[in-house]
């Protein structure tokens, strides 16, 4: 089954593992002229016996079991929600029987693995745009059973309850022969869906809100306001953090300059007018648990107006950088980083 969108944490794309069946040929001998007397009765196990239940496993109860998982979370109730959906709709697909979750069987018809990630599913690969959220074989529509040793259904763990149900429902749909081409009739088979992770700490609750301990900083030295003196002051800011003197920025975080704007985590922009005051910080990040707050930052921009005194540019940059690592609550920063009084804040860092 699936992936999700680079905001990696927003959408899931479902990959499909297709199974090709080889049809066997049945040979026959010469036909007899006589078929026997009309009163011949079928013997037990003969051709006129009741046919097996029509589903790929030829079983009244199609057993499902989680055979492996990376954590202690109880996924069984979530899998059962997906089972209930298909049990209500299995006859509409032309199948008989029902799914049953059985934690005791040694050989489930549909084994399920909860995994940390799915790198590949058929021709689908996790990439920078999408992440696969699951994978399942697609069984054919003839009612023939498939070797149970085939790859189990895989569902990525760490999703919240509703997303886990959505992903597993999609994958069990593949087990019943549906593909992404059936999404008009069965919306649960859409190739992409929105998913959310289990609740995670917000960026403001983390000591380091970025996803890396090496923070790459970019600013264009050709900017008129960034003369050699100002650049030297900015270098002092990064040296201050790298020396571990900050009480807010963790000592294991390292700041380094980069000439590659696209790889930057923090970008300094000298602007004619900041959106508020004479400087401001904006940040963009990921919200995997869909609670409306970023869990980590991807990039932050610090804007400083071009008319700011060159002695104060470093103060603005250092203050906003500290702010990004703080709880962002009132009183989170020391007075020297918040006061408008030049005597209080001084030329920071000194």
Q: What is the pLDDT of residues 91-132, one digit of tens each?
A: 999 899 999 999 999 999 999 999 999 988 877 787 766 788
Distance between CA atoms of residues 293 and 203, nearest Å: 8
Domain count of the chain? 2
Distance between CA atoms of residues 17 and 306, nearest Å: 57
Residue 34 covered by a domain: no
Residue 6 covered by a domain: no
Highest mean pLDDT of the ranges 222-236, 298-312, 326-340? 298-312
Residue 43 covered by a domain: no
Residue 25 covered by a domain: no
Residue environment code for 118-152, b if the CB has 16+ CB neighbours within 10 A, otherwise e: beebeebebeeebbbbbbbbbbeeebeebeeeeeb
Residue 320 covered by a domain: yes
Same domain, 255 and 167: no
Same domain, 135 and 219: no
Tens of pLDDT along 312-333? Answer: 899 999 999 999 999 988 778 8
Residue 80 covered by a domain: yes
Is pLDDT larger for residue 128 or for residue 10? Answer: 128
DSSP letters along 157-186, please?
Answer: SSB-HHHHHHHHHHHHHHHTT--GGGTTT-
**Residues forming beta bridges with residue 270, ordered by sequence position:** 304
Residue 105 covered by a domain: yes
Residue environment code for 157-170, b if the CB has 16+ CB neighbours within 10 A, otherwise e: bbbbeebbbbbbbb
Residue 42 covered by a domain: no
Please compute the mean of the pLDDT values over residues 252-263 and round it to a whole number: 94
**Residue ending a domain, choose from 142, 168, 194:** 194
Q: Which residues contact 313 (CB under 8 A, 6 or more apart)?
A: 225, 230, 233, 234, 304
pTM of the model: 0.61
Same domain, 241 and 315: yes
Same domain, 210 and 188: no
C-beta of residue 242 within 8 angstroms of C-beta of residue 255: yes
Domain that holds residue 209: 203-345
What is the torsional sign of CA 306, 312, 318, 323?
A: negative
Q: Answer yes or no: is pLDDT of 14 > 90.
A: no
Residue 314 belongs to what H/E stretch?
A: helix 313-324
């Amino acid at each position: 089954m699936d992936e999700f969108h680079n905001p990696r944490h927003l959408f899931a794309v479902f990959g499909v593992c297709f199974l090709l069946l080889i049809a066997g040929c049945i040979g026959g001998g010469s036909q007899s002229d006589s078929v026997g007397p009309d009163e011949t009765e079928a013997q037990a196990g003969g051709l006129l016996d009741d046919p097996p239940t029509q589903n790929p496993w030829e079983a009244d109860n199609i057993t499902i079991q989680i055979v492996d998982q990376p954590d202690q979370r109880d996924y069984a109730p979530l899998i059962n929600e997906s089972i209930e959906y298909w049990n209500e709709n299995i006859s509409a697909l032309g199948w008989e029987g029902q799914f049953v979750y059985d934690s005791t069987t040694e050989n489930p018809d549909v084994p399920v693995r909860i995994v940390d990630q799915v790198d590949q599913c058929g021709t689908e690969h996790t990439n920078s745009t999408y992440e696969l959220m699951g994978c399942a074989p697609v069984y054919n529509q003839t009612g023939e059973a498939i070797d149970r040793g085939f790859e189990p259904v895989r569902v990525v763990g760490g999703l919240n309850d509703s997303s886990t149900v959505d992903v597993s429902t999609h994958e069990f749909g593949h087990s019943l022969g549906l593909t992404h081409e059936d999404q008009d009739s069965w919306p649960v088979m859409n190739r992409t869906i929105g998913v959310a992770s289990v609740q995670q700490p917000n960026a403001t609750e983390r000591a380091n809100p970025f996803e890396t301990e090496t923070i790459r900083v970019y600013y264009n030295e050709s900017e008129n306001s960034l003369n050699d003196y100002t650049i030297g002051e900015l270098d002092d800011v990064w040296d201050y953090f790298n020396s571990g003197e900050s009480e807010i920025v963790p000592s294991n975080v390292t700041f380094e300059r980069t000439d590659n704007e696209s790889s930057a985590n923090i970008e300094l922009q000298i602007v004619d007018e900041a959106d508020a005051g004479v400087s401001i910080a904006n940040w963009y990040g990921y919200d995997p648990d869909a609670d409306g707050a970023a869990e980590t930052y991807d990039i932050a921009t610090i804007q400083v107006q071009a008319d700011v005194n060159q002695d104060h540019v470093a103060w603005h940059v250092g203050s906003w950088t500290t702010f990004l690592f703080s709880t962002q609550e009132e009183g989170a920063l020391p007075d020297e980083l918040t006061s408008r009084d030049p005597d209080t804040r001084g030329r920071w860092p000194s």
